[in-house]
Amino acid sequence: MPTVSVKWQKEVFPGIEIDTSQPPIVFKSQLYTLTGVPPERQKIMVKGGILKDDADWSTLGVKDGQKLMMIGTADEIVKAPEKGPVFVEDLPEEEQVVALGHSAGLYNLGNTCYMNSTLQCLHSVPELKSALLSYSDTVRGNGIDQASHNLTLATRNTFGDLDQSVRPVAPLQFLQTLRKKYPQFAQQHNNVYMQQDAEECWTQLVYTLSQTLTSDSSESAVLPMKQLFGIDLVSRVHCAESGEESTETESVYSLKCHISQDVNHLHEGIKHGLKTELEKASPTLGRTAVYTRESRINELPRYLTVQFVRFFWKRESNQKAKILRKVDYPLELDVYEFCSDELKQKLQAPRQMLRDAENAKFGLKAHGKASSSKENEESSSAGESSSMDIDKAESSLPKKQLTGVYDLVAVLTHKGRSADSGHYVGWVKQDDGKWIEFDDDNPNIRKEEDILKLSGGGDWHMAYICLYKARMAESKS
């Protein structure tokens, strides 16, 4: 029987005998008693790769005195409990929230699933919660009306209730202030409150918060809504008939995914949404003419909202009809191709840093270039002053930069044939990577593959709004 030594982490275990008449799982069990690493976690390097549990020792060529290397994480030593078992329901409520692993559901107060799903998706943004916590109860900003102030406070209070409760929350205060600020959400039919459009609720709430949660906060860590959700667009407006051309800029809080027979994927829908036609008066022609508007993103947010334009007004039925077409969307969204040339230039270095960081995770060699060749030429000609700048940069704190790459963190879905009927649900990704389906007061754990099945094509829940979180690159500022 050959005798080998095994290196694990910083330790070396000499003189371990291998009984070659037994399968390798027996040898792994020996190592388990020495290291505490369970056999299923052990990766032992031998000729031809990693040692398998049922491998034939005679084919591996293990020699007497050979040194093997093992990779794996040991089990923690199990200690006897100091106290008796404690059931979750016996814990204080704030500890129950932690044990549960996700926030509470919201009671449906009568066709309010449109509101509940909107709140659950926006509640997933920690920076928004921080901004709300810093918002003053008593002091309103200049130009802020009382209804907007009250709606902001109600949003903050509802988010706080969700974080502190394991039982479903009744968002009555929020509903009342929402209807006071936006009376369309108080529409009734036969004395029953009507279902409303979740996208309209999302848009109005984000707009209100963009007016109240500005950058005037005394806390420097608090980000304004514009930085969290705002998208700056630069558009080229061109009339082929007259040759007129102009440039326009605007700020929006979502990208539109237009759906047609040619659209099968979110990327295609966004591309359609950024190129539209409009009719307006032409000064040159002296009449109405057709103009083409081609937009590009000139500034990106921390959280990117994409709305699927699934509803259109159907005159025959006098309601918003739904486009059921299946449109796939990714877990990772790269919007680089939709950016202006100016923004693309700004994104090049952070994108390279992100690639290098992700390559390093997998043990791949870093690219070593975080800028274009032109930038390299400029830096090489800068001489000693350039090296001094680098020294200063390396001594500074890391700075997070946008890359144009985003990860899906929430999906708001609709089930049914009309925006003003059917059912809305929020699907939110947790910090540990699992997904929760927030179906009003009934949260359910879901798998990632369940989220990708929400792309449409039938009467099942289909994505109406997707919320993506920016993947940041860290650099020395």
pLDDT of residue 376: 42
Q: DSSP secondary structure string, 328-384?
A: B--SEEE-GGGB-HHHHHHHHHHHHHHHHHHHHHTTPPP----S-HHHHHHHHTTTH
Amino acid at 259: I
pLDDT of residue 390: 39
Is the pLDDT higher at 77 or at 411?
A: 411
All structural domains of the chain, each given as residue ranges with its CATH number in brackets, are: 3-71 (3.10.20.90)
Quote the CA–CA distance of 429 and 331 in Å, as a whole number.
Answer: 11
Mean pLDDT value across residues 25-53: 82
Strand 3-8 and strand 67-71: pairing? parallel
Please, is 98 exposed, middle or buried when counting C-beta atoms within 10 Å of its C-beta (0-12, 13-18, 19+)?
exposed
Mean pLDDT value across residues 161-178: 94
Let me know: does 132 contact 213? Beta carbons within 8 Å. yes
Residue 393 has pLDDT above 50, yes or no: no
Mean pLDDT value across residues 163-175: 93
Least confident of 59-63, 112-116, 375-379, 417-421: 375-379
Quote the CA–CA distance of 291 and 460 in Å, as a whole number.
Answer: 38
pLDDT of residue 440: 96
Residue 394 has pLDDT above 60, yes or no: no
What's the whole-number average pLDDT of the chain?
85
Is 121 marked active-site?
no
Is 423 marked active-site?
yes
pLDDT of residue 85: 60
Mean pLDDT value across residues 321-326: 88
Report if pTM > 0.75.
no
Rg (CA), the chain: 29
pLDDT of residue 221: 55
Q: What is the DSSP letter of 248?
A: E
pLDDT of residue 363: 74
pLDDT of residue 158: 97
Residue 86 has pLDDT above 90, yes or no: no
Question: Which of 83-87, 320-324, 403-407 shows the highest mean pLDDT?
Answer: 403-407
pLDDT of residue 198: 95
Is the pLDDT higher at 132 or at 221?
A: 132
Is the pLDDT higher at 141 or at 375?
A: 141
**257 pLDDT band (50/70/90 cuts)?**
very high
Quote the CA–CA distance of 264 and 249 in Å, as a whole number.
Answer: 29
Residue 381 has pLDDT above 50, yes or no: no
Is the pLDDT higher at 3 or at 49?
A: 3
Mean pLDDT value across residues 390-407: 70
Sequence length of the chain is 477
Strand 255-258 and strand 303-309: pairing? parallel
Q: Which of 113, 201, 257, 466 is catalytic?
A: 113
pLDDT of residue 41: 82
Mean pLDDT value across residues 259-287: 93
Place of tokens 């994108």: 351
Residue 288 has pLDDT above 90, yes or no: yes
List pLDDT tens digits, range 96-144: 444 555 689 999 999 999 999 999 999 999 999 999 999 988 877 678 8
Mean pLDDT value across residues 228-256: 95
**377 pLDDT band (50/70/90 cuts)?**
very low
